[in-house]
Structure 1
């Protein structure tokens, strides 16, 4: 079978050298001049990190410091979704897309001095595949989505593994063999959760140790105290009492060395408090400022960097707890009840758009002809009556103590959506839960809710990273069990030809919106990140994949 255009493009991108991948902008300030070296940057984080082991994470507040300490085999060109060399200078696949060969950089060392070589890369892949224990496997969200199963599935893991083996024919080569073609690759090799860790440190600090007590999880010393990657910054400390993560420059970094001496992430859950501290100069930046604050921030001289939109906000529907939600007419009624145009216009940043399906229009597989659900409260009431659900009562979960790229103010969004639903006769029981204090576990693992607010920032430019992540297999979040959709997504994902791959996902999107409707797409929006005027060199990423080694700080 001839190599597909998708694979050829990936190989061509992989063949680029580091000098080509590192655009000149990355080492210079906005005016094109060389950035100043030294100093400490303090970044206001909206929430506490769960831990620092990449594979046991799936949230942005954990990934932000992790991205500074770790590297992946493939990465993304700064400011874009284009693939670029990471720890691998080149990569290529077999014609069937099942065997991937990586040529590794020479002279790279982990923070503990362990050399990066083919054996170290394979130790990571084999660790993920052979992970034991239901608790540990349950925390490997991205691994489960991409590789689908383990050597021995435990707990909720049920899929057949995509991963087969990893071999290191020599120090500079790692060969990863898959059991089947999967559209996620090669881009998924750049997932933060698949960052490459030091095998020495993982063994020394019992990296695989994960224990569960009720809904709480505890992690190893590796995850909490000794994360060891190859990144531009090294872990120094995490003071939980003061909510500060301190990283220091890695002077032996293989790439562009950090200009900052230290990078501190300080947890400040309240957005107004982050804004005030930025104005006072006690922090140097924070993520996801409220769209309503853009003008004021700019007038104060702050730099508001708006990312290209690459996300989806959705209203999740869990069919497990309330029998009425299994009826497609009820789910369609919920869709018709929501005035998404007004919500986007009044609550989301300029440039936000109503979503018609569960991916941005820039992703191949987007279908322009899906079934639409315009605001129509009368139709919603009629569908509820037809389904015998005119007196429906639903538990609506929404997160607190968080701001997400697709969800700038969850409480405000909840209020708008809840009011729309009340107007068509649905009684709403609000259930606010802290983002890192139970919300995600309640929604995604326990499935306690009837409705919930959640979303997704794409990790890479493939339809499977959106609809496959949401609806490719049975999940507690949706209580949706129709194998026909799972099989349809799997077939689309396994189609190598780019045109056929896109066409298959277009049909998936049509069917999701017309036949299944397991959730309601709300919007896609361009989130921002803000830094003080004396901070330069930060490149906003549509993947929220900002790296701080290019950042410099001048006094003032």
Structure 2
């Protein structure tokens, strides 16, 4: 079997590790090169660089115990002081930038007191309860202080981690790393290369030609060629929620009855068939079914008759026009989706006036500044149920993607959740919030996409992690 595995993906860049990203292409590289205190497994967390942790009953005081003898790839100690330095850097106001949203991590760690009472102990004391801190630290990449000092001076150097793979070469479209002998996260190929291949047809062709071992985000229709050639087609659910943010601050959709009418009046299964040839799963709540504490996704809210009655009750029996902002990518099907949605809503007496946006980053900034019309195409990507509630739904926070929505019951449940350290009890709290937000939706939630990747040879036991990020240490190519 291959000792040097090449992964063809859309992008292959070594991004700033302390910026917040939901890009699977970036995260697979970062998780290979850099360790984190904990690792996500399904809806929970297991020890990684930390061997274990304790949390106080107030959900504010956390203590992490580190693995002894760990070193960065530059030979310097990966000890408690280095972890504290990385977490402090992660919380800086100039770090944590996500598309359109600055300093994401600062809102969680900015007020924290970080200390290293001994070389193998890290203490995080938070100003507010945060029972979901592990969701934040799962992307808290630990970097060598020597390399971050060079980065902060503006030098063109690669950040250095202590992960299971060590960077050996990098170019604008290609990154190669070698497995670190003796690393505690053993497994995976001896070497791995991530190469940027923007065209999905070319990614598939490279796999079929034997030039790469893994190809991501393939076109479902053409990926049928994989099995015929003796390779593995792996379909998996993306946790990214495709939604329309609704302007609850002003305009018609400030009326909760109209927001509910939109949710009731859209046939999600028909949209999926029209826009994605069936390659998605209907989304009936604010997070995907693979999220922690996801509630009951079996309830189908499609009820166009009730939707029409609610529209009439809100005073729009004679019709309603809504303005929609639509990007040309992210999601890439946004224009097709908006056209299909317009056809469905026309049957309810709702017409859409669509404004098209080609500058995706400018579009994100417009949304962050809360300058949307009545609704806009968007996605919701954090794997943390807490982060979605906190950053996007809580009116007291009024985060980057919040659009004027307020539900006191949902906010009270969020407060309960952030104080509850028992995982099962906290999951039940979030499930209750899920139901509240189904009955009073802040967004028009539509679907979670199904994604397709290809692997060389027969790999029946391969499973993509729930976050949709390839774990190279678990690739079936030892």
Rounded to whole Å, the distance in 2 between the matches of 1:58 and 1:369 is: 23
Shift of 1:104: 1.4
Q: What displacement does 1:196 show?
A: 0.9
Matches within 5 A, 1:473-552: 473-482=397-406, 484=408, 485-498=410-423, 500-515=425-440, 517-524=441-448, 526-533=450-457, 539-551=463-475
Q: CA deviation at 1:442?
A: 4.1
- 1:233 lines up with 2:165 in the alignment: yes
Contact 1:251 1:257 in 2 (8 A): no
Question: Which shifted more, 142-151 or 537-546?
Answer: 142-151
Q: Give the conservation status (yes or no) of the 8 Å contact 2:71–2:78.
A: yes
Tell me, what secondary structure is at the counterpart of 2:445? strand
Matched, 1:299 2:228: yes
Structure 1 residue 325 corresponds to structure 2 residue 253: yes
**Separation in 1 of the partners of 2:357 and 2:231?**
32
Give the direction of change, closer, same or farther, for the CA distance of 1:174–1:299 in structure 2 (3 Å limit): same
C-alpha distance in structure 1 between counterparts of 2:96 and 2:309, whole Å: 43
Partner Cα separation in structure 2 for residue 537 and residue 265 of structure 1 = 24
Correspondence list, 1:407-426, <5 A: 409-423=333-347, 424-426=349-351
Contact 1:370 1:510 in 2 (8 A): no
Equivalent residue for 1:198, pick from 120, 144, 148: 144
Partners of 1:446 and 1:267 lie apart in 2 by 35
Give 1:366 deviation, angstroms.
4.2
Equivalence map 1:81-100=2 (5 Å): 81-100=43-62
Alignment TM-score, normalising by the size of structure 2: 0.83
CA contact (8 A) 1:70 1:228 kept: yes
Residue of structure 2 in register with 1:271 after alignment: 200
The counterpart of 1:335, out of the listed 252, 260, 263, is 263
Of the three residues 393, 396, 412, the one matched with 1:471 is: 393
Q: Are 1:395 and 2:395 counterparts? A: no
Match of residue 30 from structure 1: none
Q: CA deviation at 1:95?
A: 3.6
C-alpha offsets along residues 99-148 of structure 1, whole Å, 9 cap, x if unaligned?
2222212222222222100100111122233x245xx4654999966663
1:330–1:384 Cα contact (<8 Å) kept = no
**Alpha-carbon distance change, 142 to 252 in structure 1, aligned in 2, over 3 angstroms:** farther
Map of 1:68 onto structure 2: 32
| 1:289-348 CA distance string (max 9 Å, x none) | 34444534322333122336645332222345x622222233233223321121245555
Q: CA deviation at 1:72?
A: 0.6
- SS at 2:470's partner residue? coil
The answer on whether the counterparts of 2:326 and 2:335 sit within 8 Å (CA) in structure 1 is no
Quickly say closer, same or farther: Cα 1:280–1:259, change in 2 above 3 A: closer
1:287 aligns with 2:251: no
d(CA) in 2 for partners of 1:102, 1:65 = 25
1:100-119 matches, within 5 Å, as 100-119=62-81
TM-score when normalising by structure 1:
0.73
CA distance in 2, matches of 1:382, 1:81: 37
1:210 aligns with: none
**Is it true that 1:44 corresponds to 2:6 in the alignment?**
no
Query: How far apart in 2 are the matches of 1:536 and 1:459?
Result: 26
Q: What is the CA deviation profile of residues 122-181 of structure 1, one whole-angstrom value per residue up to 9, with x for unaligned ones? A: 11122233x245xx4654999966663565xxxxxxxxx4x3x12212212212222333
Give the direction of change, closer, same or farther, for the CA distance of 1:452–1:239 in structure 2 (3 Å limit): farther
Within 2, Cα distance between the matches of 1:444 and 1:538? 38
Q: 1:538 to 1:264 in 2, by over 3 A?
A: farther
Q: Secondary structure at the match of 2:350?
A: coil
Q: Aligned-pair RMSD on alpha carbons?
A: 3.7
Runs of at least 5 residues in structure 2 that lack an aligned partner in the other structure = none
SS of alignment partner, residue 9 of structure 2: strand
> How far did 1:263 drift?
0.8
Distance in 2 between the 1:370 and 1:492 partners?
23
Q: 1:519 deviation in Å? A: 0.2
- Structure 1: distance between partners of 2:115 and 2:162: 21
Is this contact kept in 1: 2:93–2:103, CA < 8 A? no
- Does the 8 Å contact 1:182/1:493 carry over to 2? yes
Partner of 2:314: 386
- Contact 2:5–2:212, Cα closer than 8 Å, also in 1: no
Measure, in 2, the Cα distance between the counterparts of 1:476 and 1:411. 23
Structure 1 residue corresponding to 2:107, chosen from 142, 148, 165: 148
**Aligned to 1:509, what secondary structure does the other structure show?**
helix
Q: Say which is worse superposed, 298-307 or 196-205, in terms of deviation.
A: 298-307
Aligned to 1:374: 302
> What is the total number of aligned residue pairs between the two structures?
472
CA 299–309 in structure 1, closer or farther in 2 if over 3 Å, else same: same
C-alpha separation in 1, matches of 2:202 and 2:223: 16
In structure 1, the residue corresponding to 2:19 is in which secondary structure? helix
Contact kept in structure 1, 2:237 and 2:448, CA below 8 Å: no
Contact 1:316 1:451 in 2 (8 A): yes
